[in-house]
């Protein structure tokens, strides 16, 4: 993909500073890939426990709609206080949505795909009710900073995503949290028997996923200074799942990689950029993504792994044994 971009855009790898801001195709990939990185980060934790969250797209739409609605109705849309209240409102609602998913999955025992599908459908309707079926536009400098502003020449959205990834790496690799997640995803029954609060941990990851999706929704809406309850975050849950599996996280739970997820998200964003750069119809992107999903699922399947292990074993067995060294002849 990088070679294709380089062929059609010779200055693809060029990064320059203009008006105190970093510009370039690579910067754009990081910038526009930041919301997906956040959503995929939360999705990684959910999938690590053996679940899945299909409601993140609707959460993205709800968060952006709530924030933009509050700012548009405020007496001073450009006030930092107004923006902080709008952000707090969006995050608070996201906490509630994540808690609902967590209770349905962990406490009531609803299958994750069914529980989150409920909010995926209902949440999209809620977002449209908030916006009244219209696109809400706002004019607020502090709010625009979240997704479209720069800080120390770097896009602020990139800094937010990097901070979230750093915090996730610190918590999952420097504490016992990572091992607990893998334990719950690998064998939830055994985890409960040894004293791990598996139900509480399962509910917690859905809350974290919803908060990550809400921050992504704030990024998306602030970048365009508008909220669209119908299209904001549409199908981002599929891109997030794809990023997770590309990064090496097992869809069966029990194994995850934060760093791999970040790489997967950037691969997807690079794929989208490549399609636009070389002039391929955007609809074709879905075909490429579907092909990648099929390939990754095949590689991760137990049958495929067992078959490859048998082939490696057969290849080693068929190698001729090295001849034993002969003792040198001693002259008489």
The pLDDT tens digits of the residues spanning 244-270 come to 988 888 888 888 999 999 999 998 888
Radius of gyration of the chain (CA): 24
SS3 category, 151: strand
pLDDT at 8: 60
Which position has the token pair 């526009």? 32
Q: Mean of the pLDDT values across residues 150-174?
A: 94
pLDDT mean across residues, the chain: 88
| Residue pair 28/16 in contact by the 8 Å Cβ criterion | no
Q: Distance from CA of residue 280 to its chain's centroid?
A: 25
- pLDDT score for 23: 80
- Is it the case that residue 59 has pLDDT exceeding 80? yes
In tens, the pLDDT along 1-16 reads: 555 555 666 666 677 7
Rounded Cα distance between 321 and 131, Å, is 73
- Following DSSP, what letter does each residue of 267-315 receive, concatenated? HHHHHHHHHHHTT--TTHHHHHHHHHHHHHHHHHSHHHHHHHHHHHHHH
Which helix or strand (DSSP H or E) is residue 166 part of? helix 156-173
Report d(CA 314, CA 292) in Å as an integer: 29
Quote the pTM value.
0.86
Q: What is the pLDDT of residue 326?
A: 63
Element (H, E) at 26: helix 25-32
Residues 6+ apart with CB under 8 A from 111: 105
Note the pLDDT tens digit of each residue in 83-97: 999 999 999 999 999
**Per-residue pLDDT averaged across 39-54, rounded?**
95
* Nearest CA-CA partner of 191 in 205, 204, 181: 181
Backbone angles phi, psi at 195, to 5 degrees: 100, 0
Residue 331 has pLDDT above 70, yes or no: no
Q: Which domains does the chain have, with CATH numbers?
A: 2-280 (1.10.3470)
Closest CA to 217 of 89, 58, 32: 58
């Amino acid at each position: 993909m990088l070679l294709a971009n380089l062929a059609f855009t010779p200055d693809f790898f060029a990064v320059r500073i203009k008006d105190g801001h970093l510009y370039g195709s690579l910067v754009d990939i990081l910038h526009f890939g930041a919301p997906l990185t956040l959503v995929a980060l939360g999705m990684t934790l959910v999938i690590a426990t053996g679940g899945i969250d299909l409601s993140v797209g609707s959460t993205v739409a709800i968060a952006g709609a709530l924030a933009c609605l509050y700012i548009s109705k405020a007496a001073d849309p450009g006030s930092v206080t107004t923006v902080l209240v709008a952000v707090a409102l969006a995050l608070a609602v996201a906490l509630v949505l994540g808690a609902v998913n967590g209770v349905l999955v962990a406490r009531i025992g609803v299958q994750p795909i069914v529980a989150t599908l409920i909010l995926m459908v209902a949440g999209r309707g809620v977002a449209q009710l908030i916006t009244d079926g219209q696109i809400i536009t706002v004019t607020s400098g502090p709010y625009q900073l979240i997704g479209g502003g720069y800080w120390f020449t770097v896009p602020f959205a990139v800094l937010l995503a990097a901070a979230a990834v750093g915090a996730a790496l610190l918590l999952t690799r420097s504490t016992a949290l990572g091992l607990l997640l893998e334990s719950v995803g690998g064998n939830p029954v055994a985890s409960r028997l040894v004293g791990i609060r598996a139900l509480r941990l399962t509910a917690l990851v859905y809350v974290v996923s919803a908060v990550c999706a809400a921050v992504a929704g704030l990024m998306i809406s602030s970048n365009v200074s508008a909220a669209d309850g119908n299209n904001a975050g549409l199908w981002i849950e599929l891109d997030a799942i794809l990023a997770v599996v590309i990064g090496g996280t097992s869809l069966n739970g029990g194994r995850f990689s934060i760093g791999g997820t970040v790489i997967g998200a950037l691969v997807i964003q690079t794929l989208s950029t490549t399609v636009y750069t070389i002039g391929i119809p955007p609809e074709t992107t879905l075909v490429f993504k579907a092909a990648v999903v099929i390939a990754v699922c095949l590689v991760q399947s137990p049958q495929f792994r067992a078959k490859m292990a048998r082939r490696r074993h057969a290849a080693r067995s068929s190698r001729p044994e090295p001849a034993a060294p002969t003792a040198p002849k001693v002259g008489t």
